[in-house]
């Protein structure tokens, strides 16, 4: 019991990283499926989104729904999986249902940032004219930008959303 308490944070981070990796695999598979399935969806984004996801940043022809939706959906699927697993297994939390709403609100804000980051990275890899980097562009973008989640979500889940209640003496 004492050893578990002493190494609890490290063990929680290891489990968090494992579920993050599994979530990342889910995200990589889904982003590639969505990306190639929706590539022809060229409907332009509304003004409030095209300011964030501009062609100047993402590359010509990429300021459209078929480019943004795959990254956003794959992030959402991955985050829901990770929330469930981390709540049940990593932090063994009995947090109320409203915590999920807070989690999703934070995740959505991060999704905009990460979707934008993935777009920038994807465009960068596509611009290299390397057949390998062009083929792997969506995957590389997901892996690199996804690290933002770890930096934000682990402390948020451990110390805020799923923190253990202090035992009464």
What does the DSSP 8-state code read for residue 110?
A: H
136-159 per-position pLDDT tens digit: 998 898 889 888 889 999 999 999
Please tell me the distance from the alpha carbon of residue 121 to that of residue 59, in angstroms, as a whole number.
10
Helices marked H in the chain — which ranges? Answer: 2-6, 8-37, 47-50, 55-58, 65-85, 98-126, 131-145, 147-156
Q: What is the pTM of this model?
A: 0.80
16-72 per-position pLDDT tens digit: 999 999 998 998 899 899 999 998 999 999 988 888 888 877 777 778 999 889 988
């Amino acid at each position: 019991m004492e050893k578990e308490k002493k190494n609890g944070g490290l063990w929680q981070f290891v489990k968090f990283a494992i579920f993050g990796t599994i979530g990342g695999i889910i995200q990589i598979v889904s982003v590639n499926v969505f990306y190639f399935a929706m590539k022809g969806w060229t409907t332009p984004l509304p003004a409030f989104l095209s300011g964030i996801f501009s062609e100047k940043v993402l590359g010509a022809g990429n300021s459209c729904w078929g480019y943004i939706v795959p990254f956003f959906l794959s992030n959402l699927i991955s985050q829901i999986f990770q929330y469930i697993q981390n709540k049940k297994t990593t932090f063994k939390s009995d947090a109320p249902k409203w915590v999920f709403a807070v989690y999703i609100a934070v995740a959505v804000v991060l999704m905009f940032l990460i979707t934008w980051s993935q777009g920038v990275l994807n465009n960068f890899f596509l611009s290299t004219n390397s057949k390998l980097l062009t083929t792997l562009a969506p995957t590389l973008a997901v892996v690199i930008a996804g690290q933002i989640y770890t930096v934000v979500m682990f402390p948020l889940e451990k110390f805020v959303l799923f923190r253990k209640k202090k035992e009464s003496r």
